[in-house]
């Protein structure tokens, strides 16, 4: 059998597939099912400093080759998220990535400090959600670097920064966060989009705009990963539209050390991890 294990910083992943953030929430039992079903690592939904409702329904629209969502970073109170994460870290046999967000630098630091106490393997900074109020921090190199630097100062855990494709020069942001101490980069978060119901002449999502994910965004993700890879030396987790072993290999050829799988889990179930791995093995 081909060895498809890989290394992400100091951690060994038995294979390069990672459940990406937000797809299956933060409940330990659900994420453990994914961990036990063949994923190389799992990422929690982004955890914020306090309870957040998220946007009103409808929050998801199917499009011909992708999903448009505007969940709006809903999450339970931090204490509840930490209890789930604690259980997950204790029981998971694969590395756990805790995704976090804040509305400002101070909130990022607050969440990073509290979450670090339960020792996930990595922290992922979600500076890139496309469907919150205002523009995400990730469109600004200076702010992204500042958040990275402050979080790095507050934790011993390796920090991954998740970037948005909704910028004119993603490599510039990648270089800024690398310079600020980021240990790795994940790219990409979803692409900003919109859908209109022509019978009612109204936007379908209550939030008007959402984040597009799934096969439609794979070429954008491959291009972003390639551009980042050319300009930075830290590892990259390639995310966006991966559905098959061939997609995963394409992303790794662009420069990714591992790949995030999101919408494909919604479309094909958690068996997708073993299927993608066996397709990679066959190709090798
Ligand atoms: C329903 C849904 C919720 C998401 N929630 C989060 C989130 O909480 N944090 C985050 O960093 N990314 C979130 N994302 C973005 C995904 O992690 C991923 O970057 C994006 O969907 C592209 O990958 P995919 O095409 O494989 O789905 C979410 C995506 C979807 C579809």
pLDDT digits (tens, 9 = 90+) for 247-263: 999 999 999 999 999 99
- Decide if 83 is inside a domain: yes
pLDDT at 53: 82
Q: Which domain holds residue 221?
A: 6-49+78-190+214-283
| pLDDT tops 90 at residue 24 | yes
For the stretch 121-131, pLDDT in tens is 999 999 987 65
Cite the active site residues.
129
pLDDT at 202: 96
What CA–CA distance (Å, rounded) separates 256 from 239? 9
CA angle at 71 for the pair 216 and 119, rounded to the nearest 5°: 100
Using a 10 angstrom Cβ sphere, with 0-12 exposed, 13-18 middle and 19 or more buried, the burial of residue 53 is exposed
Query: What average pLDDT does range 265-270 have in this prediction?
Result: 95
How many independent structural domains does the chain possess?
1
51: tokens are 């309870």
pLDDT at 132: 65
For the stretch 54-111, pLDDT in tens is 888 999 999 999 999 998 888 889 999 999 999 999 999 999 999 999 989 999 999 9
- Decide if 67 is inside a domain: no
Supply the angle between the helices 141-154 and 105-116 in degrees, to the nearest 10. 30
- Decide if 166 is inside a domain: yes
- Decide if 245 is inside a domain: yes
- For residue 227, the domain's CATH number is 3.20.20.70
- Greatest CA separation for the chain: 56
**pLDDT top residue among 54 and 194:** 194
Look at residue 46 and give its three-state secondary structure.
Answer: coil
Contact, 160 vs 189, CB < 8 A? no
Atom of ligand 1 nearest to the CA of 69: 1
- Decide if 64 is inside a domain: no
Contact, 130 vs 191, CB < 8 A? yes
pLDDT at 29: 97
- Decide if 155 is inside a domain: yes
For the stretch 123-172, pLDDT in tens is 999 998 765 667 889 899 999 999 999 999 999 999 999 999 999 999 99
pLDDT at 196: 97
- Among 89, 90, 164, smallest CA distance to 125 is for 164
- Decide if 63 is inside a domain: no
Q: Which of 213, 218, 276 maximizes ligand 1 atoms within 8 Å of its Cβ, making it the mutation to test the pocket?
A: 213
277: tokens are 């791995």
The DSSP output letter for 9 is T
Q: What are phi and psi of 251, to 5 degrees?
A: -65, -35
- Decide if 68 is inside a domain: no
Atom of ligand 1 nearest to the CA of 128: 11
* 204: confidence class by pLDDT, cuts 50, 70, 90: very high
């Amino acid at each position: 059998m081909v060895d498809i294990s890989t290394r992400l910083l100091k951690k060994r992943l038995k294979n390069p597939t990672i459940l990406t953030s937000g797809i299956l929430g933060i409940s330990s039992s659900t994420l453990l099912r994914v961990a036990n079903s063949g994923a190389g690592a799992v990422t929690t939904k982004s955890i914020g400093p306090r309870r957040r409702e998220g946007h009103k329904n409808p929050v998801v629209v199917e499009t011909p080759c992708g999903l448009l969502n505007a969940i709006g970073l809903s999450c339970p109170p931090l204490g509840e998220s930490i209890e789930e994460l604690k259980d997950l870290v204790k029981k998971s046999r694969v590395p756990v990535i805790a995704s976090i967000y804040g509305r400002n630098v101070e909130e990022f630091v607050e969440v990073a400090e509290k979450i670090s106490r339960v020792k996930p393997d990595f922290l992922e900074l979600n500076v890139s959600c496309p469907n919150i109020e205002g523009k995400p921090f990730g469109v600004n190199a200076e702010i992204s670097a500042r958040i990275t630097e402050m979080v790095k100062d507050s934790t011993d855990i390796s920090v991954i920064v998740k970037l948005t494709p909704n910028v004119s020069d993603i490599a510039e942001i990648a270089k800024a966060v690398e310079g600020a101490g980021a240990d790795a980069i994940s790219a990409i978060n979803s692409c900003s989009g919109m859908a209109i119901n022509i019978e009612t002449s109204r936007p379908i999502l209550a939030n008007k705009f959402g984040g597009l994910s799934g096969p439609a965004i794979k070429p954008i993700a491959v291009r972003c990963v390639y551009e980042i890879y050319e300009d930075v030396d830290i590892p990259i987790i390639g995310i966006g539209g991966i559905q098959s072993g061939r997609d995963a290999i394409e992303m790794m050829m662009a420069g990714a050390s591992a790949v995030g799988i999101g919408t494909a889990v919604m479309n094909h179930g958690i068996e997708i991890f073993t299927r993608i791995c066996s397709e990679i093995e066959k190709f090798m």
